[in-house]
Amino acid sequence: MNPRKHLVFLMILFFKFILYRSVVSSQDITFHFSSLSLRNLTLLGDSYLRNGVVGLTRETGVPSSSSGTVIYNSPIPFFDRSTNSTASFSTRFSFTINNVNRVSSFGDGISFFLSPDSQTLGSPGGYLGLVNSSQLTKNKFIAIEFDTRLDLHFNDPNENHVGLDIDSLNSIKTADCASIGIDLKSGSMITAWIDYWNDGKNLKVFLSESAYKPVNPLLDIDTDLSEYLQEVMYLGFSASTEGSTETHFIESWSFTSFGIRHLNPRITNPHNVTDNTVSKNPAIDVPNDATNNNKHHKKMGLALGILGPVFFCAALVVFGYLSFKKWRGTKTDMNIQAELLTGPKQFSYRELKIATNGFHSSRIIGHGAFGSVYKAFLASSGNAAAVKRSKHSHEGKTEFLAELSIIACLRHKNLVPLQGWCVEKGELLLVYEFMPYGSIDKVLYQDTEHWSFLKWNHRYNIAIGLASVLTYLHQECEQQVIHRDIKSSNVMLDANFNARLGDFGLARLMDHDKSPVSTLTAGTMGYLAPEYLQYGKATDKTDVFSYGVVVLEVCCGRRPIERESEGHKMINLVDWVWELHSKGAICDAVDKRLNKEFDVEEVRRLLVVGLSCANPDSEKRPSMRRVFQILNNEADEIKVPKVKPMLSFSSSLPLSLEDIVSSSDAEEEEEEEEEEEDRVPEIRIDPSQA
C-alpha cells in the first residue's frame, strides 16, 4: 500500500470511528408470560393449551407414544452480520413432569431449544421431539435437555439428568439432577434458568423447586455458541414419550437477549411482549455483574470517545511520516491473503462453517490430495458449492498459497471453477462450483442411478474435454502446470456431463523448457508413469500417462488395477487392453454396460489413443495437443506396437505390480483402514531411496 493509500485509509477509519457510536445501536429482546396463550405461540404435534399451561405430550392413563412442540411465533435475532455481533441470552421457565405410573412407565423428557426452523417437530421416544428417527441430522438446534430416561443409544448417564445438545442428542456435557436433590419426574413444579454470556463464551443452567435462583449452577459449560447461532432463531420447547404415561407441562416463560448491535438505531422491537402489554421490567433474573459490566462499558465508551480522535490524529502523523520516508525505492511486503485473488470471493470462516453444517461428516462428498471436500449451501447466493478443507503447517501454507495464487487464475471451460477462499483459524478453505454428478469414479463404479446415463457420446466428449484442458495447462499457460494427480476421482462431471478437472493439491508450476526437479513421488497407484515412480520427476509426459489410463478407464468401465473375480491376482488395465490389441480385438475392451450402443471407429480411436499415452516409454507418448487433434480428426493417429514395450531400470526399486500393490496395501492399512478392498491405493515414495 503506497503512502497516499495509507493516508486515505486512516482518514476513512477515523471518520468511521467518530460516526460509530451514532450509527450502531443495540437491540434487546424481552418477553414474559406468567401464563401462556396462543397469541404468541404455535403448537405442533400432540401439544395443546389448557388454562394458560401448555401440555407437550398426550395426557392419557394408558402407555402411549407421543411428541409435541411449542414455538414462539416471532424469530429472535442472535447474530448481526453488519456488526459481526452475537447476542447473549437468558431465559427462565417453570415446568412439570408427572407420571401416573412411575414404577413401570417412564421417559422420555423435555427440552428447551433454539432452531433456525419454525416447524421443528421430531419423533417420539428418546428423540425428545427434536429429531426424526429416520433423519437424525436433518433438524438443527441448540437444546438443553431434561432427560428422564436412560438411553444408551445416546450415551445418557442416567434417567435424571440435564445436558447440552447441539445438532445431536449425544450431549456435549451432562449433569446429574440428583446431585442437587431434584427428581425431574417427581411431579413438582421445577424452575430452570439458562444463561449464555457470549463475551465469556459460557453457558449455565440452574434448577430449583422454588422461585429463587440458586447461587451455583447445576450445569456450567465453557462453549462458543456463536458458531451455531444464526441471524434469526426460533425458541421453543419439545417433549416426547414412548410406551409411557409421562406428561410434560410448561407453566410460565420469560426470555431476554442482549448485546447484539445493529447499524440502524431506529429499529423498533416487536418482540417485547407480556400477557397484555409491553413489559418494562421483565421478571427475569440477570446477574448483578451484567449491570456492572454495562456501567463499565459506558465509561469505556466515553473514554474512547474522547481519546479516540487524539489517538487517530497521532496515528495519522506517524503513518504519514513513515510513508514519506518510504516513498522512494521501498516496496511493501505482499500479503498473501490480499494478493491471493481479485476474482474469487473471500468468505468468512463462520459463513463456510454454517454452510457445511459445522463441517459435519454427513456433508463430506470426497477426499482430495490435501483435504476433505464438503457439500455446502451458501446463504449469500442460495447455491450449492463444494468446500475443500485442509490444514497445513505454517511453512507449507505459504508455499501452497503462493502456488494457488497462480493456479486459481487459470480459466478454462474444463476446469472446476474456483468461487472463493478463506484463510482463518489455521485452515485453508477453497470454495468450488458444485458438480452435480460428482466424479467419473463415482458415476462409473458407485452411483448405479447415473452410470447408465453415461452414454458413449458422453464418454468420448469427456476424453476430448480432458485433453483440451491438459493442452491448456501444459502448453498455453504462462507457466507450465503439471497436475501430478490426474485420475477418475479428480475429473468431475457438470450438469451436461462435461469433464471438469479439479484438485490441484499436488500440482507444480514450471517454466517452459526447464528440466523437472526430483520431488517426493505422490499420486495414486495405477495412474503413475514408470519413470515417475523410478526417478520422482514429474513432467508433462507423466500427466499424459495418467490421462491415458483415465481414457481407458472411461472407455472400458474398469479400474486401473483390479483383482480377479476368482483368486487374488491383480489385473492391470493397460496390460489387459494391450493384450486385446495384440490379438486384433481391441474393441472387445469397451464397457459391456453400453450394450453395443457406440461408434466402433470412435471406440477404436479412443482405445488406441489411451494406449499411446500409457506407453511405458515416455518419449513415445504424444503431447496433449496432438491427442486433442487426433480425437477431433485433425491429425493422424499414432501407431501403437502390438506388444507392450518393456523398460528396465538400473535401480533396485521394485516395480513389479505385485510388489508395488502389496507394499502400498501395507501402508494403506495404517493410513486408511476403512478404504474398500478394490480401491486403488495411494503411495508416496522417496526417490532418494531408489
Output the known binding site for ATP.
Answer: 388
Q: What are the beta bridge partners of residue 146?
A: 110, 162
DSSP string, 144-179: EEEE-S--GGGT---SSEEEEEESSSS-SEEEEGGG
Half-sphere exposure of 616 (CA within 13 A, CB side): 14
How many residues are present in the chain? 690
What contacts 307, CB < 8 A, 6 or more positions away? none
**261-262 and 41-45 as β-strands: parallel, antiparallel, unpaired?**
unpaired
- H or E element at residue 309: helix 288-325
Half-sphere exposure of 261 (CA within 13 A, CB side): 12
Eight-state DSSP code of residue 426: T
Using a CB cutoff of 8 Å and minimum separation of 24, what contacts does 205-214 make? 205/144, 205/162, 205/164, 205/175, 207/162, 207/177, 207/180, 207/182, 208/182, 209/182, 213/92, 213/285, 214/180
Sequence letter at residue 337: Q
With beta carbons less than 8 A apart as the criterion, state whether 301 and 26 touch.
no
Q: What are the beta bridge partners of residue 89?
A: 196, 257
Q: Tell me how many degrees the CA angle 651-655-656 measures, rounded to the nearest 5.
A: 140
Map grid coordinates 405461540 to a residue.
41
Distance CA 249, CA 47 (A): 9
- Among residues 485, 494, 543, 591, the one annotated as catalytic is 485
Residue 108: active-site member: no
Map grid coordinates 504424444 to a residue.
622
- H or E element at residue 433: strand 427-433
With beta carbons less than 8 A apart as the criterion, state whether 500 and 492 touch.
yes
Q: Tell me how many degrees the CA angle 403-431-419 measures, rounded to the nearest 5.
A: 85
Eight-state DSSP code of residue 567: S
**How far lies 368's CA from each of 181, 388, 485, 490, in Å?**
53, 8, 10, 8
**How far lies 287's CA from each of 28, 161, 194, in Å?**
16, 25, 12
Say if residue 292 is exposed, middle or buried (CB neighbours under 10 Å; 0-12, 13-18, 19+): exposed
Map grid coordinates 477515523 to a residue.
14
Could you write out the three-class secondary structure of 353-395? HHHCCCCCHHHEEEEECCEEEEEEECCCCCCEEEEEEECCCHH
Secondary structure class of 571 (helix, strand, coil)? strand
Distance CA 283, CA 631 (A): 78
Distance CA 553, CA 573 (A): 8
CA-based nearest residue to 112, from 128, 101, 124: 128
Distance CA 420, CA 594 (A): 38
CA-based nearest residue to 54, from 40, 45, 43, 39: 43
Distance CA 152, CA 158 (A): 9
Q: First-to-last CA distance in the chain? A: 49
Cell of 473: 495447462
Burial readout 224-242 (b: 16 or more C-beta within 10 A, e: otherwise)? ebbebbeeebbbbbbbbbb
Query: Which are the catalytic amino acids?
Result: 485
